[in-house]
């Protein structure tokens, strides 16, 4: 059965059959989930199978895993099509394992793409386009009252020459989200006012801070932001006026008003 990789109009996200999904390869594994490349058949009357990305949520406690799964499902289900946000295709909740199924991005993670471009080369115009792609996608999420909370190059996917925002495991619906738990946070991408153990208030402005760090990642071709020695004192460093240094090779142009 041929696998179709070219984009097509996905139907609205809906319950899928586990038997229609065939794993092709493992794409990655993190603290909260396993992501696979798979072939999905019987989607919207499309002949053949469609390449998709399938996310299995994994946590030690089943109850906690269900909470995480349901939160990401709720956020993803609220999304409509946007060219700079990964398309949510459907879910499996009536059978085990429970799955979230997304559009497959052929070029993979932006972070890996940027690091590879150090060898292959990439134009400054393309890097600027990537920053604009993410800005457009984040503007859409903000219009839907979605706070991403984990915006970084590792959570952006590249499809063709287009960047798409992905990974809504930390995302929340609402103009303001107050973190009451002791969730792990990506400290080098997090706004300083949120670098507290609990009751941190996340909103669009805190996503804007993360976007600034992401732009630095893009222009530095995937370098790690800040020094690793700052890990335990990044909040004090930022509150003291410390900031990211200019990426190597980047040029700053001042426009006259």
Whether 11 maps to a domain, the answer reads yes
Q: What is the tally of structural domains in the chain?
A: 2
The backbone torsions φ and ψ at residue 122, rounded to the nearest 5 degrees and listed phi first, read -155, 145
What is residue 223's predicted lDDT score, i.e. its pLDDT? 94
Whether 250 maps to a domain, the answer reads no
The residue with greater pLDDT, 252 or 87, is 87
Whether 27 maps to a domain, the answer reads yes
**Using CA atoms, how far apart are residues 151 and 209, in angstroms rounded to an integer?**
9
- Dihedral angle computed from the Cα positions of residues 44, 45, 48 and 54, in that order, rounded to the nearest 10 degrees: 20
Domain's final residue, options 79, 103, 127: 103
Predicted confidence (pLDDT) per residue in 22-51, tens digit: 999 998 876 567 899 999 998 877 778 889
Whether 251 maps to a domain, the answer reads no
Secondary structure (DSSP) of 186-242: -GGGS-GGG-SSS-EEE-HHHHHHHHHHHHHHHHTTSPPSS-GGGTTTHHHHHHTT-
**Using CA atoms, how far apart are residues 185 and 206, in angstroms rounded to an integer?**
13
Name the pLDDT band for 4 (thresholds 50, 70, 90): very low
Torsion sign over Cα 80, 83, 85, 87: positive
Predicted confidence (pLDDT) per residue in 90-149, tens digit: 999 998 788 999 999 999 999 999 999 999 999 999 999 999 999 999 999 999 999 998
Whether 47 maps to a domain, the answer reads yes
Give residue 179's Cα distance to chain centre: 19
125 with 152, same domain: the answer is: yes
93 with 12, same domain: the answer is: yes
Whether 253 maps to a domain, the answer reads no
Whether 137 maps to a domain, the answer reads yes
Is 183 an annotated catalytic residue? no
This prediction has a pTM of 0.87
Report the CATH number at residue 215: 1.10.510.10
127 with 200, same domain: the answer is: yes
Domain's final residue, options 83, 103, 123: 103
Domain's final residue, options 103, 120, 155: 103
What is residue 3's predicted lDDT score, i.e. its pLDDT? 44
**Using CA atoms, how far apart are residues 222 and 141, in angstroms rounded to an integer?**
24
Range of the domain at 231: 108-239
**Using CA atoms, how far apart are residues 130 and 109, in angstroms rounded to an integer?**
12
64 with 174, same domain: the answer is: no
What mean pLDDT do residues 200-223 have? 93
54 with 120, same domain: the answer is: no
Given the structure tokens 């630095």, which residue do they identify? 216
| Catalytic option among 70, 133, 150, 207 | 150
98 with 123, same domain: the answer is: no
142 with 217, same domain: the answer is: yes
What percentage of residues in the chain have a pLDDT greater than 90? 51
What is residue 25's predicted lDDT score, i.e. its pLDDT? 93
The residues near 130 (Cβ < 8 Å, ≥ 6 apart) are 110, 156, 163, 218
73 with 118, same domain: the answer is: no
147 with 88, same domain: the answer is: no
What is residue 149's predicted lDDT score, i.e. its pLDDT? 87
140 with 49, same domain: the answer is: no
The residues near 257 (Cβ < 8 Å, ≥ 6 apart) are none
115 with 218, same domain: the answer is: yes
What mean pLDDT do residues 6-17 have? 74
Report the CATH number at residue 41: 3.30.200.20
35 with 82, same domain: the answer is: yes
Whether 156 maps to a domain, the answer reads yes
The three-class DSSP label of residue 252 is coil
Give residue 38's Cα distance to chain centre: 19
- Give the per-residue SS3 of 3-60: EECCCCCCCCCEECCHHHEEEEEEEEECCCEEEEEEEEECCCCCCCEEEEEEEEECCC
């Amino acid at each position: 059965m041929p696998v179709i990789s070219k984009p097509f109009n996905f139907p609205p996200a809906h319950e899928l059959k586990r038997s229609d999904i065939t794993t092709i390869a493992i794409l990655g594994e993190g603290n909260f989930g396993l992501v696979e490349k798979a072939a999905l058949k019987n989607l919207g009357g499309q002949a053949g199978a469609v390449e998709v990305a399938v996310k299995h949520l994994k946590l030690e406690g089943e109850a906690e895993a269900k909470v995480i799964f349901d939160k990401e499902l709720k956020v993803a289900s609220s999304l409509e099509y946007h060219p700079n946000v990964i398309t949510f295709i459907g879910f499996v909740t009536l059978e085990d394992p429970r799955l979230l199924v997304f559009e497959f991005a052929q070029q993979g993670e932006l972070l890996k793409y940027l690091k590879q471009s150090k060898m292959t080369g990439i134009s400054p115009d393309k890097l600027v386009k990537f920053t604009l792609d993410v800005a457009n996608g984040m503007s859409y999420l903000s219009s839907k009252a979605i706070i991403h909370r984990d915006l970084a190059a590792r959570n952006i996917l590249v499809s063709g020459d287009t960047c798409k925002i992905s990974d809504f495991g930390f995302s929340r619906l609402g103009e303001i989200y107050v973190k009451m738990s002791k969730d792990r946070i990506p400290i080098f991408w997090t706004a300083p006012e949120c670098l507290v153990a609990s009751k941190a208030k996340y909103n669009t402005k805190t996503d804007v801070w993360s976007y600034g760090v992401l732009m630095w990642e893009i222009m530095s071709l995937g370098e790690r932001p800040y020094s690793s020695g700052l890990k335990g004192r990044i909040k004090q460093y930022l509150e003291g006026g410390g900031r990211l240094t200019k990426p190597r090779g980047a040029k700053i142009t001042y426009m006259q008003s």
